[in-house]
Amino acid sequence: MKFFIDTASLKEIQEAHSLGVLDGVTTNPTLIARESIDTRDAFEKHIKMICEIVDGPVSAECVSSSAPDLIVEARTLAAIDPHVVVKIPMTTEGMKAVRSLSEEGIKTNVTLVFSALQGLMAAKAGATYISPFVGRLDDIGHEGMGLVEEILDVFSNYLFETEVIVASIRSPLHVLEAAKMGADIATIPFKVIGQLARHPLTDAGIQSFLDDWRKVEKDFSMK
Ligand code: E4P
């Protein structure tokens, strides 16, 4: 399973990249709003800087509504860097844009997917990626990971090339379940990436090995 980081913070992206496990980045308008970006030009430069850190897909989101506007906006975003994947909302206008962009060779990530039928529509329109939002479903009492399971099940019947990005991840358990289900990608917040490698027994084990090694070194110095 590929690991993307779900952030627009250059610091977090650099730190996650240094771990050697990062395959890509996803951003959205909310994540961009957390950075000090106040012009369209600054936004495009920021996306370019992300592309220079990570050698993999970098999702940048379109905010237009109609298909023609989405297509124009997507072309501008795609021109920033060959790594850019344009995020398109899961709407009927979005589907028209995805069909046209996929014919132009522009990569798309259909976002805000909350049902398997939406996932199927996006795949049929030629989406490169779809992003089912698991955490936001959990938040309203629906099983987010159940949606991922359903989408993977539907996709397994056909030969779509569309990859499934498990998005809106809230905890390490979401990542574990995504991997067990065989999802293509998990896009993970920085905090959760940090939690993936940690275990209290590892910390306790390191401490007791160090304590014992200090006793051995004390014996060395006495000889
Ligand atoms: C990723 O592509 C999504 O924009 C993101 O995972 C949404 O996460 P949230 O539900 O925590 O905002």
CATH number of 2-198: 3.20.20.70
Q: How confident is the model at residue 14 (pLDDT cuts 50, 70, 90)?
A: very high
Name the nearest CA neighbour of 189 among 127, 113, 134. 134
Domain boundaries, the chain: 2-198
Annotated active-site positions, please?
87
Query: What is the SS3 assignment for 111?
Result: strand
Single pTM value for the model: 0.95
The string of pLDDT tens digits covering residues 22-78 is 999 999 999 999 999 999 999 999 999 999 999 999 999 999 999 999 999 999 999
Nearest CA to ligand 1 atom 10: 168
Name the nearest CA neighbour of 132 among 124, 141, 120. 120
Residues in Cβ contact with 2 at an 8 Å cutoff, skipping those fewer than 6 apart = 23, 24, 56, 184, 185, 186
Q: What is the mean pLDDT of residues 193-218?
A: 96
Indicate the top mutation candidate among 2, 28, 169, 184 to test ligand 1's pocket, ranked by most ligand atoms within 8 A of CB.
Answer: 28
The string of pLDDT tens digits covering residues 83-104 is 999 999 999 999 999 999 999 9
Q: State the average pLDDT for the chain.
A: 97
The first and second tokens of residue 156, run together, are 């397994």
Indicate the top mutation candidate among 2, 4, 6, 131 to test ligand 1's pocket, ranked by most ligand atoms within 8 A of CB.
Answer: 6
Separation of CA 198 and ligand 1 centre (Å): 23
Separation of CA 133 and ligand 1 centre (Å): 7
- pLDDT higher than threshold 80 for residue 200: yes
